[in-house]
A and B are shown apart, each in its own frame.
Chain A
Amino acid sequence: MQPTASAGGDSLMDGELNPLTPDPSPTEGEESERRYDPRTKLVVYLLGCGVILLTTRPLELLPLTAAPLLGIAFGRHWSQWLGVMRLLWPTLLLFAAVVGFGSGPEAAAGAVLRLLALVTASTLFFALTPPEELGESLLSSGLPPQAVFLLEGTLRFAPTMAVLAREVREAQESRGIRLDGFYLLRNGLALLGPLLFSIMRFADDLAEALESRGFGGPTRTPLVEYRFRIRDWVLVLGMLMVTLGWVFISR
């Protein structure tokens, strides 16, 4: 119960053991993060991304990168951030080289900082906002269930797809078809072919399962009822003013 109540929502079965509450005892850090409605966090995140995208000069991008980094530090979300960065750094390097070669070092620094700021803001947003909570809140706002499932389904089935990819890779390696390093380029079809077929078959199965479970109708009851509170309005309006101010100063 606690997380949904503190998130400004009325959940199922107040005062009872709620089997739909995935995490009944948030930690102290999580408590403050969950004070706000998920939609408030979404608006703040989108405005933040807008500001980052409108900014090009490295010196101006520095505080915009530092701000979400501070959030990562305060929320102790370093492990998620480092996990993302481990995957991202080759892209950052490539990005820097390509932009630097074409437009000079300042543009390269700006491009890298902008990408870094966007990725850090996104990591912070998803660390603070479980997608299922965001989905439920958007459902409360009247978003069609199909659109909400796009968000939830991505989260639910990403690990399944990863398992599928691993199984295909193992199946091919067991036949002597190498897929490591350079061999991935040469034998990539052996990975991509079965993977695409398996994903298409999985998508068919998933569509059948969804229809069989009543998905496809016009309604879906949100499991938690979210309400915008005063603090949500204050944060959204505050962020809107900061954004407008930033745009005005940058001009």
Chain B
Amino acid sequence: MTGALIACRGVSYRYPVSAQLVLQDLDFTVNPGEFVLLAGASGSGKSTLCRLLNGLIPHLHGGEVRGDLTVAGADPRWTPPHQLSREVGLLLQRPDAQCLATTVARDLAFGPACQGLDRAAIARRVRAVTGWMDIAHLLDRSPHTLSCGEQQRVALAGVLAMEPKLLVLDEPFAFLDVAGAGQLRERLRGLHAAGITLIVAEHRLGEVAALASRMLVLHQGRLMADGSPATVLAGNVAAWGLEPPGPWPEASRPATTGLEPVVEWDGIWCERDGRPVLRGADLVSAAGEIAALLGANGAGKSTLLRHGNGLLRSPRGAVRVLGRPVGKRPVAEVAGDVGLVMQQPAHMLFAPTVRAELAAGPRALRRHDPAWCEQLSERFGLEPLLDRPPQMLSAGEQRRVALAAVLASRPRALLLDEPTAGQDAIARATLRTLLAECATEGLAITVATHDPRWAWPLCPRWAVLAEGRITTADLSTVQAQHEAWSCSQRHPLAVTP
């Protein structure tokens, strides 16, 4: 207990408008220099605990905290977050909201300036984190022009510039590609070696388990396990909604040939801010087949998908849906054949109830079929949610509603953009089952993902987008390359055709 950086004794917490305890009787201590992996399914209380440690709870969110909690010698209940931030750094999940200034350089200086340091000290810290995070080339850029991985690096650098003793990261791997995840692992390893205490809340256990010295598991707000990652993962973690890292599952869907093409991307070109993103990309999505589209952050996966339903138009090449060029057809017309589920499902949801949400798309396309909507809600497990506002659902539930809402229009092809980002093991497994069922019924599915392990048993065909072009690969090549990269943690995923 003496010398512990975090001492948590019988801590419970409830949000202001809820009678339910989100954290219940937590008892643990964390000593300086430890690297703690905080695991748990969605809703287990991981993010709540992270926010409690730096005082955002209760100062920003309110609610009732019980028990004894000391973080870096202070009680977060009575210490405002801006004071606690001198000792406790918190990196939140969403990187775009954490870059606070108009340029990266100013953003890095923001925290130290708020600490009231003099300008020379601020400059020293900015220089130090710039070199350490290797972001000197980004200093003059506006944060909104950066890729997700770059924003994540800048946000982490901004927190590190405050020189915290304890760094808490809430799902830092959620939106990162394989290369970005590897770089972040390297940074975390370096921070741990430098003596900074780390707490990383994460669903993708494989990213952190090997680095962490200790693992805590939360389940429904209670601490279920506390030990070394090897010991904890040897137990039945699936009971807590976790997917232990391990060998890749069996590939259950062999590739077939001669399937009817539904969406064909033929030599697609696209530029963004004067930079070529796609340079003659070719891809086919065939009926009854699920294709995985891999590629680094910013490689153009989302851009390619957006060409598939006419949201973007290529100056060269063509997109054909069921053999007919998309050309200048309105997106709303193509939407009848090609459904696109965006990375952020919340952007799609607007109706007052889930029931109305399922009907909105088909009504707009004049193909509403109440019986089909009912079938979908049964299959997607949405029946208990039908009268609830979709905006109030959990991220996993929103994902299922968005997918069902797109399928309600009976498209022939389905394009999914990062469907597993930020999802726990249960939601990922559910999504995999649903997509497999859809493919069996003849739907052509293309999934852009950073999560090849999730897609592995689902997708018989793999396409890798690199330097604006698609290279196809067989299962064994992808697995071998990914495994080799994951072991070395140096090389980005690169699959040779």
Contact = CB atoms under 8 A, between A and B. Distances in A.
B346 to A, nearest CB: 6
Contact of A194 (B143, B333, B347, B365): B347
A107 B359 CA distance: 51
A206 B97 contact: yes
A130 B103 CA distance: 12
Contacts of A173: 311, 331-332, 335
B100 A177 contact: no
A238 interface: no
Interface in A60-81: none
B92 A205 contact: yes
A217 interface: yes
B311 A214 contact: no
A214 B348 contact: no
Contacts of A193: 349-351, 391
A251 interface: no
B397 to A, nearest CB: 15
A122 interface: no
B162 A213 contact: yes
Contact of B365 (A131, A155, A160, A176): A176
Nearest to B408: A175
Contact of A216 (B82, B333, B336): B82
A106 interface: no
A187 to B, nearest CB: 7
Interface in A1-35: 11-13, 16, 18-23
Contacts of B110: 213, 215
Contacts of A132: 101-103, 106
Contacts of A192: 350
Interface in A154-199: 155-156, 159-160, 163-164, 167-168, 170-178, 187, 189-194, 197-198
Interface in B119-166: 119-120, 122-123, 126-127, 130, 136, 139-140, 142-144, 155, 158-159, 162
B405 interface: yes
Interface residues of B, number: 82
Contact of A214 (B162, B309, B342, B346): B162
B315 interface: no
A202 interface: yes
Contact of A20 (B80, B109, B117): B109
B143 A156 contact: yes
Nearest to A180: B330
B59 interface: yes
A75 B216 CA distance: 60
Nearest to A160: B144
Interface centre among B96, B162, B331, B409 (most CB of A within 10 A): B331
A171 B342 contact: yes
B484 interface: no
A18 B306 CA distance: 41
Interface string B283-326: 00000000000000000000000100101000000000000000
Interface centre among A175, A207, A219, A222 (most CB of B within 10 A): A175
A12 B347 contact: no
A177 B344 CA distance: 17
Contacts of B103: 22, 132
Contacts of A159: 142, 144
B342 A170 contact: yes
A49 to B, nearest CB: 24
B449 interface: no
Given A177-B364, A194-B347, A205 B94 contact: yes
Contacts of A210: 100
A57 interface: no
A160 B405 CA distance: 26
Interface centre among A12, A155, A214, A216 (most CB of B within 10 A): A214
B482 interface: no
Contacts, number: 215
Contact of B85 (A131, A213, A223): A213
A201 B346 contact: yes
Interface in A115-148: 130-132, 145
Query: What bracket does the count of chain A residues touching chain B fall in?
Result: 35 or more
A207 to B, nearest CB: 6
B90 interface: yes
B98 interface: yes
Interface string A92-124: 000000000000000000000000000000000
Contacts of A178: 330, 332, 364
Given A20-B123, A132-B102, A212 B54 contact: yes
Contacts of B362: 176
A83 B281 CA distance: 34
A174 to B, nearest CB: 4
Given A22-B140, A174-B311, A175-B409, A13 B51 contact: no
Interface in B208-226: none
Contact of A177 (B86, B142, B332): B332
B361 A176 contact: yes
A167 B405 contact: no
B360 interface: yes
Contacts of B342: 167, 170-171, 174
A206 B97 CA distance: 5
A234 B333 CA distance: 64
Given A12-B122, A160-B144, 15 more contacts: A16-B123, A20-B105, A20-B106, A22-B140, A173-B311, A175-B406, A194-B348, A194-B391, A208-B51, A208-B60, A212-B90, A216-B81, A216-B114, A217-B116, A222-B113
14 contacts: A13-B119, A19-B130, A22-B105, A156-B143, A167-B347, A173-B331, A175-B360, A178-B364, A197-B346, A197-B391, A209-B100, A214-B86, A217-B83, A223-B119
Interface of A: 11-13, 16, 18-23, 130-132, 145, 152-153, 155-156, 159-160, 163-164, 167-168, 170-178, 187, 189-194, 197-198, 201-202, 205-217, 219-223, 225
Interface of B: 51, 54-56, 59-60, 80-83, 85-86, 89-90, 92, 94, 96-103, 105-106, 108-120, 122-123, 126-127, 130, 136, 139-140, 142-144, 155, 158-159, 162, 306, 309, 311, 330-333, 335-336, 339-340, 342, 344, 346-351, 360-362, 364-365, 391, 405-406, 409
